[in-house]
Amino acid sequence: LNAEDIAEIKKTWAIPVATPTDSGAAILIRFFTKYPSNLEKFPFRDVPVAELNNSARFRAHCGRIIKTFDQSISQLEEEGGLQKIQEIWQGVAKSHVERHNIAKPSYFELREAIVEVLSEACNLNERQAEAWNKLLDIVYDIIFKKYDDLGAQ
């Protein structure tokens, strides 16, 4: 990521992070609507998609996803930030393999939902979409390397 990428990411991120739970909810509802099998992995699997927003457990998870991105984005220009970003996403990978039993294809499905919702919410131009895709490439690289280390699919 160059300085311009980081500036575009920070500028656009200010919009969804202002209402973190609602932004996370928009992403996850898109994810479950397009790829319903992912909902089966969650404790709120029996809640109909239209009622998810009333589930406290769902809302908690929405906030956590946004927080994970927010912690990473705030490290982008910090000394030792890449190391911290690596630790954050290796931790996500480890818990999702060992505790949540999530396979790699689900991340591609989630990525689609993230990019779509961000594009709409932030009205991303081409340059901004490129910066976000670069960040997601970095994050996904860390996750999938950890999956490989753990012998996970």
Residues 69-88 that bind ligand HEM (CB under 6 A): none
Q: How far is the CB of 128 from ligand HEM (least distance, A)?
A: 19
Closer residue to ligand HEM (CB): 66 or 122: 66
Q: How far is the CB of 95 from ligand HEM (least distance, A)?
A: 3
Residues 11-50 that bind ligand HEM (CB under 6 A): 38, 41-43
Q: How far apart (Å, rounded) are the C-alpha atoms in residues 101 and 52?
A: 21
Regarding 61 and contact with ligand HEM (CB under 6 A), the answer is yes
Site string for ligand HEM, 112-151 (x = CB under 6 A): ----------------------------------------
Structure tokens at 22: 């609602």
Nearest C-alpha neighbor of 28 from the set 97, 111, 87 = 111
Binding range to ligand HEM, per CB under 6 A, among 5-13, 61-69, 125-133, 145-153: 61-69
| Beta carbons within 8 Å of 122's beta carbon, 6+ residues apart | 12, 15, 16, 128
Structure tokens at 55: 């589930």
DSSP string computed for 2-15 = -HHHHHHHHHHHHH
In this chain, which of 55, 106, 119, 133 binds ligand HEM, going by CB under 6 A?
106
Taken as a whole, the chain contains a residue count of 153
150: number of Cβ within 10 Å: 13
Give the residues lining the site for ligand HEM (CB under 6 A). Answer: 38, 41-43, 57, 61, 64-65, 68, 92, 95-96, 99-100, 102, 106-107, 110
